[in-house]
Structure 1
Amino acid sequence: MAEPAQGDIQPILDRWKSLKTRAEGGDLRLDTETGQQLAGHAERMYSALEELVPQAQRLEHLSGFGSLSSAESLRGKFASKAGNSDDSAKKRISQSLEVVKLMKETYELAIRKLTDTDQSTAGQFAGLGNGD
């Protein structure tokens, strides 16, 4: 698989969407304990990323570049990197939040499908023991 271009998060999103679809269909399953730990880690990552959003917003308000026109231009470029451009910190954090949310949902679905399958199988075996 070719490496995505630096900053191109779409292939990562597509991969996790595909994994989530597989988990929904029951093709991707995880051991309950492992899945719970992964989902818990994803939740912690999500919380840590959420804390970065206000910090990125504060980066839009820069000062101390001086009064030269080139300094103002430089200040504007740094400010847009924080929050207004396609390659801004806020946009990258938002995309990362989306990926981590997909990860958590995928882990939870993979656990649920395994648990559902186990319960269904146990029910079928219980029925066999009763002569059904």
Structure 2
Amino acid sequence: MSDTEQSEMQGMLTRWQTLKKQAEGGELRMDTEIGQQLATHSEQMHTKLEAMLNKALELEHLTGFGNLTSAQDLRQKFAQKANNGNDSAAKRIKQSMDIVSLMSDTYKLAIGKITESDQSAADKLAGLGMGDA
């Protein structure tokens, strides 16, 4: 992964960590229906990324390159690209999965805070006798 790509991934991770903290603190709120749809979509993305990760991990066991030393070197290089390497597909997919998990958690927290806020307001109105119109 190039330095630019690594920086972009780290930037996205940091951004979603910040948004999650804002949702935890009640600063970030969103409509319940929209938040649920976004959380569902991010969970679906996570499932697709898991399938991609499984396929990438399977690529570590490549065959059919022959017995030549250069062929085995090439097989090893491709296996490293799939898994275990610093720039492997598996590593990138895992980073994406971390971000998608943060997104889902953030959406759930944001809708939870608005639901809590709505319930608190309803309880206050009921206590004042204003909720019986």
Q: CA deviation at 1:129?
A: 2.5
Residue 33 (structure 1) aligns with: 33
Q: CA deviation at 1:80?
A: 0.3
Q: State the AA in 1 paired with 2:27.
A: D
Q: State the AA in 2 paired with 1:27.
A: E
Residue 111 (structure 2) aligns with: 111
Q: 1:87-102 alignment to 2 at 5 Å?
A: 87-102=87-102
Q: CA deviation at 1:47?
A: 1.0
Q: 1:40-55 alignment to 2 at 5 Å?
A: 40-55=40-55
Using the aligned pairs only, state the percent identity: 55
Structure 1: give runs of 5+ residues left out of the alignment: none
Q: In the aligned structure 2, how far is the partner of 1:107 from the partner of 1:42?
A: 9
Q: In the aligned structure 2, how far is the partner of 1:24 from the partner of 1:37?
A: 19
Structure 2: give runs of 5+ residues left out of the alignment: none
Q: CA deviation at 1:7?
A: 4.0
What is the TM-score of this pair, normalised by structure 1? 0.87
Residue 61 (structure 1) aligns with: 61
Q: Across the two proteins, how many residue pairs are aligned to each other?
A: 127
Indicate whether 1:6 and 2:14 are aligned: no
Q: CA deviation at 1:95?
A: 1.2
Q: In the aligned structure 2, how far is the partner of 1:83 from the partner of 1:76?
A: 10
Indicate whether 1:24 and 2:40 are aligned: no
> Which of 96-105 and 61-70 deviates more?
61-70
Q: State the AA in 1 paired with 2:14.
A: D
Q: CA deviation at 1:23?
A: 0.2
Q: 1:85-124, CA deviations, whole angstroms, 9 ceiling, x for partnerless residues? A: 1211111111111111111100000000001001111111
Please state whether the residue corresponding to 2:87 is helix, strand or coil. coil
What is the TM-score of this pair, normalised by structure 2? 0.86
